[in-house]
Structure 1
Amino acid sequence: MPNNKNITLFSHLLVWFVLFSMPYFLSYGQEQEMDRIKAHFWIPLCFSVIIFYSNYFVLVDRFLFPKKMLQFVTINTVMIMLFLLLKEYIEDTYFKEIAEKRLINSNRVEPPFKMAVYIQVLSYMAPLLFSIALKTTKRWIKTEAERKEAANIKLQSELQHLHYQLQPHFFFNSLNNIYAMVDLSPDQAKTSIHSLSKLMRYMLYETNVETILLSKEIDFMKRYIELMKLRVSDKTVVNYSFPVKETGIKIAPLLFISLIENAFKHGVSASKESLITIDMTQDDHKIRFVIDNNNYPKQTDDKSGSGIGLQNLVKRLELLYPQKHEFKTFLKNDRFLVTLEIETN
């Protein structure tokens, strides 16, 4: 902020220095009449400075923006008329010989009085209009910055809400799966609890960031898949493939886990053969994630989960990767196919 103020102050000083110096430099090398420069250039410029800064610092904010147009126009009209009269008084009192000398040495016809006044009024209108334009632009930039900041705060709040919403959902579903194993296989239940603790540690302490290395997210998904495989029967086959090479690519955390959860929830049957295929490929900055599984409709009395995972995913994709993702689902021949493509750059 101090640097911006210094730049603004320097810019204002530079502009006025150029304007005040211009008459002098334009007549450089010629016979210069300093009294003429003072009377016809510097004094009107001083009045222009007053008009500009009185509007820039006071009148525009106090009257124009609150839409007190009558007061704004009246004050500026009175100020301009006062400066016109004051300019005439100063010229007649202190620079009278300039006008007499010009009439003696020149055959030019002086412009009509009304035309001269009109030109002077226009010259005073210029700093007035420029101050309005500058102040309006500054206000628009400030408003736009505040709007973007508010939108960013809203975005971060919504993303944080979705993130916190996902954690209990994930934990609830995982506990349901472990609960089903307690009576049938206590040892597997113990192993699952240990694996779940590692997964929750990752979710609680490593995912509170905007982006995370894709390799870490892949490790998390592999652990989760292995955890889920403990609860399915031998009739279920789970195949998965992930990129092995470390590329340094980062992605928003916990984007794919809902899709894997959904595959195990709706793609596994206790009595029928089931196949879940999970495949992730990465080409430059583009990630493609595909899950293909059987489709076994959820029973009406099954209360595990509430469908919040996929809804959460859709909202997060819209917020995090607008115009940079493609999410599709297909149902064909009792197979459910999900594809998700994300541009990470």
Structure 2
Amino acid sequence: MSYKTLEVQNTKAIRFITEDKFRLLRHAILLLGILAILSYSKDVTQYRGSFRFLKVLLIYVPLVLMCYININFLVPVFFFKGRYVIYFALLILLVILSLNAISTVLDVFFPNKGTFDPHRDSEGRGFYESIVILIPIILVTTMIKLFQRWMKDNQRINELDRINFKMELNELRNQMNPHFLFNTLNGIKSLIRTDPDKAGMVIVKLSEFLRYQLYENNEERTLLKSEINFLSNFLDLETIRRDNLSVKLSSDTDCSIIKSIFLPPNLFTTFVENAVKHSVNINDEESFVHVKIDVKDNFLHFCCINSKDSNYVPSASEKSSGLGLGNIKRRLELLYGHNHTLDIYSSESQYEIKLTIPL
């Protein structure tokens, strides 16, 4: 799976701008910077003592509020989601409201008498000076916010690449190793003698299974239909390798919807692999794996339930293969952030996984 990313040298300046541990210091510098700019503006330096402090405060508070509304609400909610027209319209409205608020408050505390220069051109200079101060503050803070988002996305994609690479290696090792193929081909050999028609169907499933692993698995996104077919082939092949294994893959979603949905490949493979692996029953009783995939309200719901033997003790190799679950959890975090839910339930007789992701 490949993504185009731009490698950026991780300098101290970039770490300071992007890392969370410097967040308080960044905000302190921003607040002090705005305060310093206001304190030495021409419209403020004409005052002395408490009048100067009061005027700085009355301008400073609305400017800071406007700045933080922009970077913490307008930019994430509208700009990052591509709603640029709404973003700029609301930003202009916010600027107008802020300037009007500043002007109204200053008229109350600094009427054009005594302490304030009576000439109207001074008011005009003060108004335009506020705009000159305001625009660079908005531009700089917005650009920093965009740069932070870009850097974090870059880091997420690079980490996702590394995790996907490890997962692909694990899947190739687990699914296309000689042991897997040997057992499957042995099962086909037996079927050729007992049920030639079924043997032909199994060969078709095996070819589809290998084709998906070799080709579609390397795409950035794949059809949900292809993913379901892959899981179906995998489960069917496992029933040949193992006796007393009952599998079921179902969906209540209309087939036309399933054929129209794209998602990252192999989101469910690790869960189903683990379900098959740990559904073994040491008393040779029937074990089962049930998988259900549905689409509702722009969310995909995946559920996998497998039987579990409380007396079964996994080998060291089986325990180490459980690392795949940690990889898929991290992959889901990188792909969907907090917009997905993953719930795992375990009892003495069965193991259940429920995953919900946005589409």
2:307 match = 294
- Deviations along 1:7-30, whole A, 9 cap, x unmatched? xxxxxxxxxxxxxxxxxxxxxxxx
2:342 match = 327
8 A Cα contact 1:326 1:340, kept in partner:
yes
SS in 2 for 1:321: helix
- Which blocks of at least 5 consecutive residues in structure 2 are unaligned? 1-29, 47-111, 191-198
> What does 1:262-277 align with in structure 2 at a 5 Å threshold?
262-269=274-281, 271-273=283-285, 274-277=287-290
2:183 match = 181
Question: Which amino acid counterpart does residue 133 of structure 2 have in structure 1?
Answer: I
CA distance, structure 2, for counterparts of residue 319 and residue 112 of structure 1: 60
8 A Cα contact 1:239 1:277, kept in partner:
yes
8 A Cα contact 2:341 2:357, kept in partner:
yes
1:32 match = none
Flag the 1:263–1:68 CA change in 2: closer, same or farther, 3 A.
closer
8 A Cα contact 2:188 2:203, kept in partner:
no
2:255 match = 245
Pick from 241, 257, 260: which aligns with 2:269? 257
CA distance, structure 2, for counterparts of residue 197 and residue 305 of structure 1: 29
Q: Which entry has the higher C-alpha Rg, 1 or 2?
A: 1
The Cα shift of 1:131 comes to 0.9
Pick from 323, 330, 344: which aligns with 1:308? 323
The Cα shift of 1:316 comes to 2.3
By relative contact order (CA 8 Å, sep 6+), the higher-ranking structure is 2
Flag the 1:252–1:115 CA change in 2: closer, same or farther, 3 A.
closer
- Deviations along 1:54-84, whole A, 9 cap, x unmatched? xxxxxxxxxx99969989977x659x99xxx
CA distance, structure 1, for counterparts of residue 145 and residue 217 of structure 2: 31
Question: Which amino acid counterpart does residue 324 of structure 2 have in structure 1?
Answer: G
1:215 match = 225
Flag the 1:207–1:136 CA change in 2: closer, same or farther, 3 A.
farther
Query: Does residue 350 of structure 2 align to residue 339 of structure 1?
Result: no
Question: Which amino acid counterpart does residue 129 of structure 2 have in structure 1?
Answer: L
Question: Which amino acid counterpart does residue 268 of structure 2 have in structure 1?
Answer: F
CA distance, structure 2, for counterparts of residue 322 and residue 65 of structure 1: 30
SS in 2 for 1:254: coil
1:129 match = 130
- Deviations along 1:142-182, whole A, 9 cap, x unmatched? 11111111122122222222221211111222227527738
1:168 match = 169
8 A Cα contact 1:237 1:275, kept in partner:
yes
The Cα shift of 1:266 comes to 0.7
CA distance, structure 1, for counterparts of residue 250 and residue 273 of structure 2: 16
CA distance, structure 2, for counterparts of residue 206 and residue 184 of structure 1: 27
- Deviations along 1:172-220, whole A, 9 cap, x unmatched? 22227527738976948xx999966754542453244553221111111
- Which blocks of at least 5 consecutive residues in structure 1 are unaligned? 1-63, 82-110
- Deviations along 1:243-273, whole A, 9 cap, x unmatched? 5612112222211111110111111236522
Flag the 1:178–1:113 CA change in 2: closer, same or farther, 3 A.
closer
8 A Cα contact 1:288 1:339, kept in partner:
yes
Question: Which amino acid counterpart does residue 183 of structure 2 have in structure 1?
Answer: M
CA distance, structure 2, for counterparts of residue 239 and residue 182 of structure 1: 19
CA distance, structure 1, for counterparts of residue 297 and residue 33 of structure 2: 55
SS in 2 for 1:255: coil
What is the count of residue pairs matched by the alignment?
248
8 A Cα contact 2:206 2:237, kept in partner:
yes
2:146 match = 145
TM-score after normalising by structure 2 = 0.56
Q: Which moved more, 1:257-266 or 1:64-73?
A: 64-73
CA distance, structure 2, for counterparts of residue 246 and residue 224 of structure 1: 23
Question: Which amino acid counterpart does residue 245 of structure 2 have in structure 1?
Answer: T
CA distance, structure 1, for counterparts of residue 115 and residue 186 of structure 2: 104
8 A Cα contact 2:308 2:350, kept in partner:
yes
TM-score after normalising by structure 1 = 0.58
SS in 1 for 2:330: helix
8 A Cα contact 2:187 2:241, kept in partner:
no
Flag the 1:132–1:116 CA change in 2: closer, same or farther, 3 A.
closer
CA distance, structure 2, for counterparts of residue 315 and residue 143 of structure 1: 27
State percent identity of aligned pairs.
21
8 A Cα contact 1:241 1:278, kept in partner:
yes
